[in-house]
Structure 1
Amino acid sequence: MKDKDVPILKQYKEIKSNFYDSILLFRMGDFYETFYDDAKFISSFLNITLTSREYGKDRVPLAGFPIKSADQYIRKLVESGKKIAIADQLEEPNKNVKLVKRGVVEVLTPGTIMRESLLSEKENNFFALTYIDDEKNVVSTLDISTGDVFIYDFKGDENMLDFLRGKDIKEIVSNRKLKVDEKEVKVIDETFFNFEECFGVLKNHFGMDRIERIKKMDEKLVVASGALLSFIKETYSTSLEQVKNIEYVDLSKRMVLDSQTLKNLEIFSRSNGEYENSFLHSIDRTKTPMGGRALREILKSPFYEKNSINKSYENIERMLLKYDLLKSLKELLSNVGDVERINARIISKRATPRCLVNLKESLKNTLKISEIVENLSLDIERIDRNIVERVIQIIDISIDENVVLDGGKEKFFKSGFDPEYDRLKELSLESSKSIYMMEDEEKKRTGINNLRIGYSTVMGYYIEITNSNLDRVPKDYIRKQTLKNSERFVNEKLKQYEIEILTAEERLNKIERELYDKLIERLSFYYIDLKKVSTFIGKVDLLYSYTLLSYENDYVKPEIGDFYELFIEDGRHPVIEIVNRNERFIPNSLYMDDKRSLILLTGPNMSGKSTYLRQNALIILMAHIGLFVPAKKAKIPLTDRIFTRIGASDDLSKGVSTFMAEMLECSNIIENMTEKSFIVLDEIGRGTSTFDGLSIAWAIIEYIHNLKGSPKTLFATHYHELTELKSKLPKMFNMTAKVRKYDDRIVFLKKVVEGSSDESYGIEVAKMAGLPKEITDNASQILSLLKESEMNVKEKMRDVSQLSLFRSSKENEKYEEIIKMISEKDVENLTPIESLLFLNDVKRKIEKIEED
């Protein structure tokens, strides 16, 4: 017998041939099994036992795991980037069926997960497609678990790549070779990007009612969105019924936060990778999955238009006026499930009865939330209460929630919902009772008290008798199976009962599936309405979170508008203040305008410089997501981008040193900054030699300062020599973190004030850290020697006019004439008098240039 003649192996190979690029999980009873190379891989990767079984003449490698614990294994496989195809049993196994029908019911990759247990409830799970063209780059994204499709366009590759990094996309495909975070992106066939084909895909998916809207879309957007839907449908065997809209996101109305800024400000995770005590962790008060996802997404792409921001402020003010209602709102929101994902599972026919019970209870609470929203007069689009009540009623009259919540997966329809269903259920129960009655009758007839009637999918119903009672077995019993301590029998009466029971059960299960399919179909009709409900809940929850946070932490409503001035009075770091509640946070102010656009911040380590830098960037960010801010008063200009360059960020795996990484980040900032940007630069130049670093820091300060529309910039440095630039750069102001010195120790006051620091107090910090006295004393002597050379540097810097790196082209030409005059002079053969005369001539020419 050959392998292909073994039915189950033949079935496996037929399914595998259609999913050759996937790990195929093949259901066999209560296990998912893998065969051949798949088995060898998951055995090694998941650290589970590799076995083998004879199929025909060959032994086939096998490895598997129980279905009840499958999610933990599937999660590991998906997170590793593997594509998983799940072949389930498509019919109930019984002794009359030699080979159960099987087929792939689900294909899983990192970006196409629908399973609730594999998803993070407060985080979207985006799949992205990039369409790179000579004119523009387009990115279309899909969260298959919610049905959301967004489309974006970009002018350059780098902006697109940074968007993809910041969005935390789970899976990406492209029409061109591409690397994101040093990972190769999968390039898919060019045929997916044919305009006519993509237009047809969108027309067929959305129908004729959307055709005019599709025609108005830019050709590149049509290609990117059509290719996305086509690829997902074809590759993952899904109809994408949950996708009912494509939303174009105009990034010109959004603040841009690049991936480096998200990392430096610790928005989603701390520098050690932990979520706890990150910015999001500290400010998240949302109670629902929809609210949590809304908060995460607005942090990735804040508003850059004041109407949306002010609308949020006004809603927070209205909630604060009736703050006592927030307790009731909190309780209601806490009992709302993931309506958005349940809705998507309904229309994609993946919803379980438990999902429907969850939806019903969530919608009941939503109606009460809607009443509170009316009471608060919030400026939010209302839900259609009649439709919500209708959906609640549909579920309520059909599903018996007690059966579902008790873990029942069958017979979950309520009595009275369908007469035929009720009749078959009663028949099934009566037949089951007959079995128990027969067991009692057989015990009396045989005198075997431990006789029992059982059931298995292989044998059906059987009578089990222990070996010690085999001498009492009646003649009408037919032996079917011998076990170690007992034997199993059947008789004609039991066979008849089995036919009646199985027939009733089969008919009951069939009608239950039909009724459930009809129920899902009926609920799918309300998909758009339930999508609006989920959006409503997300917005209310987000506002609840904002209001609670503002109230608990004494935040204020900032003034925001299209002006240049930035004023934050007594600002506080939102994370440190919350994490260290038992310690008093020292507030600090910041004022910048068109005559004060660059702040040079000096001070020793541990004095609070980095806190000051981050807190001001975070306060600006908070204002742009529509949240009140931790300050006494704030006036925040609309800011198109926040740039940060903080800390060492070498990447040896990319062959990039700390200094190169620093320069690359600075280059990105300088290339993309505008007058409306806010820039935070910390310790620029420290990754190279002192004078190289000082020169570069100096040059960057001058460049930013001298721009016609210079962005607001906070520049922290240990190069105290740079403070001398104040005499040359009128828009630059010096500020310092105050320190008080007592004898040989220092106290950090954590207060940022006008002025500059002449010392870094590094030796004092070293003493506080416990460095041996011999080392710190020696360091003090070396410092004294180095300070002499530092004074020479400062003297040179005071004459900034002669060292300015950014002059006009006419000035450069005149200086080049002087340089040429000096280079051509034979200085070695000049007499002392000739030298003095020559120097005087050079001096007069320089003075004339300065006068001009």
Structure 2
Amino acid sequence: MKAITPLMKQYNEIKNKFPNSIVLFKVGDFYEIFGKDARKCSKVLNIVLTKRHKKSDIELAGFPHHSINNYLPKLIKAGFKIAICDELEKTENKVILKRGVTEIITPGVVTNSEVLDAKNNNFLGAIYYQKNSQKLGISFLDISTGEFLVGEGDQNYINQMINKFLPKEIIYPKQKKNYIKYILNNKIQLQSLEDCFFSFNYAYKNLIQHFQTNSLKGFNIHKLFLGITSAGAILAYVCNICNYKINHITSIKRIDLEKYLNIENFSFENLEILTSKNEDAVTLLKILDFTYTPMGSRLINKWLRFPLKNIKKIKSRQKILSEFLKNKKIVKPIIKKLKQIADLERLIAKIVNLKATPYDLLILKKTLKNIIDIKGILLDSKSKSLKQLAKKILNCNKIYRVLEKVLFADAPKTLNKGKVIKPGISKELDKLRNVVTNSENTIFKICERERKDTGIKNLKINYNNIFGYYIELKKTFKRKIKIPKNWKRKQILANVERYITEELKNSELKIKLAKANLSQIEQKILADLINFVIEEIDKTQHNSKLIAKIDVILSLVRCAKTYNYICPKFNKSFNLYIKGGRHPVIEFKINSNSNELTYVSNDIFLTREKKQIFIITGPNMAGKSAILRQTALIILMAQLGSYIPAKYAEIGIIEQIFIRVGASDNISIGESTFMREMNETASILNNISERSLILLDEIGRGTSTYDGISIAWAIIEFLHNHPKKPLVLFATHYHELNNMISYYKRIINLSLSVKKINNTLIYTRKLLPYGCQNSYGINVAQLAGIPNILIKRAKKILSLFEKLKSFETIKLYRNYKIIKNFFCNLKLKQLTLAASITILKKIKFFFQSARIA
């Protein structure tokens, strides 16, 4: 058995403490990785896999420590949990240095800008489940921005929250592994944690100590027993296990879905608001996002996930938007300033975790200057609302002035790479700089003197880390001069020789000592500067949120101007009136293609009393689904506070949007298209409120015609008779449903018009106030390029089925045994004249249809 070296013994001890992590083990100027971890990392990082030494069987991979920001993002994106093990003491002739893990980095706990997506949050989630409880606690923390959220609810609530916040990682109690995996049913990375962290008393104490309060009542979360437990666990995980400082986490918010327009997960996906399964698809986010700051990008994303349903708050956003539209002159100057604002939220996280460089502080200074300028521009405007907005921006002049006073404008990214602290801040620092400058001048004078004494004009004094300062003499000149006695030869190379002198060494020593002391003083001043910034963190975070809001509002201003959107009106009615509504995404695509087409607008007027349900029929490709999606997106945009694509709109606030469109299997869990359709429809029917908008497309098409019609009819009937009277748009190819207006008073038939000229369909995309009786499916098939022989055959079969007036007749045609039984069982004596005539017609039709076939 081979002896284990002290270094590997130390590594193994640390690795055993972090068995599920890739340990980056600092050895000198390198981070080294051993064994199985080395094999994994060499593939992900595309670096050489080798051995520690020739006789060793321990595999090794590594990279220079200064390149960690290049390699770390790749490891995190690969889903690895990283433990960074650093040297905790300086080299002082020790056999083995003291080392320890200084930081744990996981997909959910990371502040590295190379890993993070600037436009999206990077949430870590925590779930707590207590036996015999129907609720679960959930919390989300973005360590990079300081956002901390908590809530609790049933399984549906939990899944909805996970789909809204999309955490990169979720922690949970170790003993609840099977249950947590069962309810989540997605690909989010899970991380188990010892059950002791999920204790209510521990969590509660942890939270009030962090926020320095006597209770959690001020955050309105004190009654969330399960939520508090998950929040305390997530805080402990980040702080105690991952070693992150959390001073920038200054508040915790309750996730209260009741305050927001609710859009179920499947409806959210169907609307393609933020993402789409189609790679080339344009989402609503892409249409609306003209933001210039990372904070603004993240905020508009959040607004789209959580549209408002409070009229007062919606009108407040509309008011600011309209004021910016009226005060056009100030928009461009503010946008110019926004473009120069850095990611303030994530910069704060770096500063708090003492990872900020002098360059980061310079970025902070420039960002604060632009915020000060934006405040000034708003104060100079003529609008009272914009002046009030300006007053909400807290005064950050003090931080800016201190940073301006202390830091050089061209401070480097790291210490020891150039001047960082300005003169006049520290007398001792200035004195040491003079020592360095004088000593460097002395070396320059030595070089000039030696050139003069030797007569060699291009004689050089150079520097390297091994010899320090040295005189470099080319061998061609060596024969021409007599080497001075005070020169000591230090190195012979092919073309040059290198010499040192006592005078050079003395000057070098002065420079080294001065620079070492200088660096310590600069580090101390920089540390004090960072602590000063941390003390003002609340102000900076507050301003960051306001700048994000201004950025989003200006983004919506640009949308309103660019796309000719209007401001919708809100009221407390249960009605929905959209005049000249347009689909924002389709209109954008049409305009982007630079053709002469324009989007055909349509009106929608729904009321609970007379026009509760619209049944929309029409041919394939006529735009039925577009009308449904368009209506949903207009409502979402309006309750976001945005202007909308329409000529006019009056909206009674909507609390829930349900939309069921498209067809897709979920084979992984054994769901057919029809089963998934029925599951989603069931979810809609079981969660109706009096302010629900329900949009259903082709319900029932996944099964047989008669089953489908029956289901669709029953659903419409159910919605019509429901005591909450939800507003409904129902698109269908089942023309039989048009007959429902004869039986139900609040149902209206609509259709999308189409013209047929010389067997060619022309879509006008206009809603008509009556139902359609033809789907024109064969014409659409012809347009798609189906062979003519098939089109002709389809037309023959269609003419046949159009004559089949009953289900019994279809059976007669398809099965001769049924025909035989039909005649054998006829009771001729009991037949009336009318019945006899009907039977004769069926017989005649049967023989005609047989001939056609």
TM-score of the pair, normalised by structure 2: 0.86
**AA at the equivalent of 2:646:** A
CA distance in 2, matches of 1:51, 1:281: 47
**Counterpart of 2:129?**
132
2:197 is the alignment partner of 1:182: no
Q: Percent identity?
A: 35
Shift of 1:403: 3.2
Q: Give distance in 2, aligned partners of 1:309 and 1:369.
A: 24
**2 CA distance for matches of 1:97 and 1:77?**
32
Instruction: Please name the residue that 1:39 is paired with.
Output: 38
| Corresponding residue to 1:378 among 358, 373, 385 | 385
Shift of 1:684: 1.9
- Per-residue CA distance 1:770-817 (angstroms, 9 max, x = gap): 33222212221122222233x437999xxxxxxxxxxxxxxxxxxxxx
Q: Matches of 1:58 and 1:438 in 2, distance apart? A: 51
Separation (CA, whole Å) in 2 of partners of 1:795 and 1:263? 43
* Amino acid of the structure 1 residue aligned with 2:242: Y
1:313 alignment partner in structure 2? 318
Any unmatched runs of 5+ in structure 1? Answer: 797-827, 840-852
Change (3 A) 1:782 1:425: farther
- Residue 554 of structure 2 is aligned to residue 556 of structure 1: no
- Is this contact kept in 1: 2:659–2:694, CA < 8 A? yes
Specify the SS of the correspondent of 2:545: helix
Query: Is 1:125–1:145's contact at 8 Å kept on the other side of the alignment?
Result: yes
* Cα displacement (A) at 1:283: 0.8
Aligned-partner Cα distance in 2 for 1:409–1:514:
16
CA offsets, 1:134-159, max 9 Å, x none?
152222111101111111222x2022
Return the alpha-carbon distance in structure 2 between the equivalents of residues 680 and 313 of structure 1: 26
The 5 Å alignment of 1:555-634 reads 555-581=565-591, 582=594, 583-594=597-608, 595-634=610-649
| Alignment of 1:508 onto 2:518 | yes
Deviations 1:478-505 (A, max 9, x none): 6767777767665544443333222122
Tell me if structure 1 keeps the 8 A contact 2:459–2:472. yes
Map residues 143-542 of structure 1 onto 2, 5 A cutoff.
143-154=142-153, 156-175=154-173, 176=176, 177-179=179-181, 180-183=184-187, 185-208=190-213, 213=218, 217-218=222-223, 219-273=225-279, 277-374=282-379, 375=381, 376-378=383-385, 382=390, 387-404=395-412, 409-438=417-446, 453-457=461-465, 460-461=468-469, 490-542=500-552
Distance 1:489 1:751 in 2: 91
Superposition deviation, residue 750 in structure 1: 1.4
- Counterpart residue number, 1:823: none
Q: Which amino acid aligns with 2:520?
A: K
Given that residues 163 and 259 in structure 1 are in contact (C-alpha distance below 8 angstroms), is that contact kept between their aligned partners in structure 2? no
Q: Give the equivalent residue in structure 2 for 1:816.
A: none
- The separation in 2 between residues aligned to 1:764 and 1:398, in whole angstroms, is 76
* Structure 2 contact 138–226 (Cα < 8 Å) conserved: no
CA distance in 2, matches of 1:747, 1:792: 32
Cα gap change, 1:729 to 1:434, in 2 (>3 Å): farther
Verify the 8 A CA contact 1:3 1:10 in the aligned structure 2. Answer: no
Residue 555 of structure 1 contacts residue 628 of structure 1 at CA under 8 Å; is this kept in 2? yes
CA distance in 1, matches of 2:287, 2:78: 29
**Given the alignment of the two structures, is residue 657 of structure 1 paired with residue 659 of structure 2, yes or no?**
no
Instruction: Decide whether the 8 Å contact of 1:674 with 1:711 is kept in 2.
Output: yes
Matched residue of 2:406: which SS?
Answer: coil
- Aligned mates of 1:563, 1:69 — CA distance in 2: 61
Contact 1:411 1:425 in 2 (8 A): no
> In the alignment, what sits opposite 1:799?
none
1:580 is displaced (CA, Å) by 2.3
Structure 2: distance between partners of 1:36 and 1:52: 9
Structure 1 pair 448/33, CA: closer, same or farther in 2 (3 Å)?
farther
The 1:393/1:748 distance shift into structure 2, 3 A limit, reads: same
**What secondary structure is seen at the aligned counterpart in 1 of 2:52?**
strand
Once the two structures are TM-superposed, the CA of residue 760 in structure 1 deviates from its matched residue by 1.8
Q: Which moved more, 1:423-432 or 1:388-397?
A: 423-432
The whole-number CA distance in structure 2 between the counterparts of 1:694 and 1:433 is 95
Cα distance in 2 for partners of 1:311, 1:349 equals 39
SS of the equivalent of 1:378 reads: helix
**AA aligned opposite 2:233:** A
Shift of residue 309 of structure 1? Answer: 0.7
Check whether the contact 1:683–1:717 (CA below 8 A) recurs between aligned residues.
yes
Counterpart CA distance in 2 for 1:448 and 1:89 is: 47
How many Å apart are 1:522 and its aligned residue?
0.8
Residue number in structure 2 paired with 1:646:
661
The count of residues paired between Structure 1 and Structure 2 equals 800
* Residue number in structure 2 paired with 1:82: 80
Q: 1:288 to 1:386 in 2, by over 3 A?
A: closer
What SS class does the counterpart of residue 329 from structure 1 fall into? helix
Q: Secondary structure at the match of 1:715?
A: strand
Residues 152, 251 of structure 1: 8 Å contact kept: no
State how far apart, in whole Å, the 2-side matches of 1:53 and 1:361 are.
47
Equivalence for 1:810 = none
> Do the aligned partners of residues 135 and 779 (structure 1) sit closer, same or farther apart at CA in structure 2, a change above 3 Å counting?
closer
- Counterpart of 1:690 in structure 2 is 705
Q: 1:530 to 1:51 in 2, by over 3 A?
A: same
Contact 2:77 2:115 in 1 (8 A): no
Q: 1:479 to 1:670 in 2, by over 3 A?
A: farther
For 1:215 and 1:532, the matched residues in 2 are separated by: 20
**Cα separation, partners in 2 of 1:272 and 1:460, compared to 1, 3 Å:** farther
Equivalent position amino acid for 1:253 in 2: K
Q: Answer with 722-731 or 214-223: which moved more.
A: 214-223
Q: CA deviation at 1:470?
A: 8.4
Q: State the secondary structure of the residue aligned to 1:116.
A: coil
SS at match of 2:410: helix
Q: Give the 5 Å matches for 1:623-772.
A: 623-772=638-787
Amino acid at match of 2:643: F
**Residue type of the alignment partner of 1:378:** S
Mapped to 1, the partners of 2:640 and 2:219 lie a distance apart of 31
Report the alpha carbon displacement of residue 285 of structure 1 after superposing the two structures with TM. Answer: 1.7
Give the RMSD, CA atoms, in angstroms: 3.4
User: How is 1:94-105 mapped onto 2 (pairs within 5 angstroms)?
Assistant: 104-105=101-102
CA distance in 2, matches of 1:385, 1:694: 59
Q: Which amino acid aligns with 1:641?
A: Q
Change (3 A) 1:282 1:216: closer
Contact 1:724 1:794 in 2 (8 A): no
CA deviation vs aligned residue, 1:347-383 (integer Å, no higher than 9, x gap):
2222222222222222222122223333232276655
User: Per-residue displacement from partner, 1:500-542 (whole Å, max 9, x unpaired)?
Assistant: 2221221111111111111000111101111111111112112
Q: Aligned residue for 1:51?
A: 50
- 8 A contact 2:149–2:252 mirrored in 1: yes
In the alignment, the residues of structure 2 paired with residue 794 and residue 309 of structure 1 have an alpha-carbon distance, to the nearest angstrom, of: 58
Counterparts in 2 of 1:3 and 1:537: CA distance versus 1, 3 Å: farther
Structure 2 residue identity aligned to 1:738: S
Q: CA deviation at 1:401?
A: 1.5
Equivalent residue of 1:672, what SS? coil
1:111 aligns with 2:108: yes
Query: Taking structure 1 as reference, are residues 321 and 135 closer, same or farther at Cα in structure 2, changes over 3 Å only?
Result: same
Q: Does 1:120 align with 2:130?
A: no
Shift of 1:759: 1.8
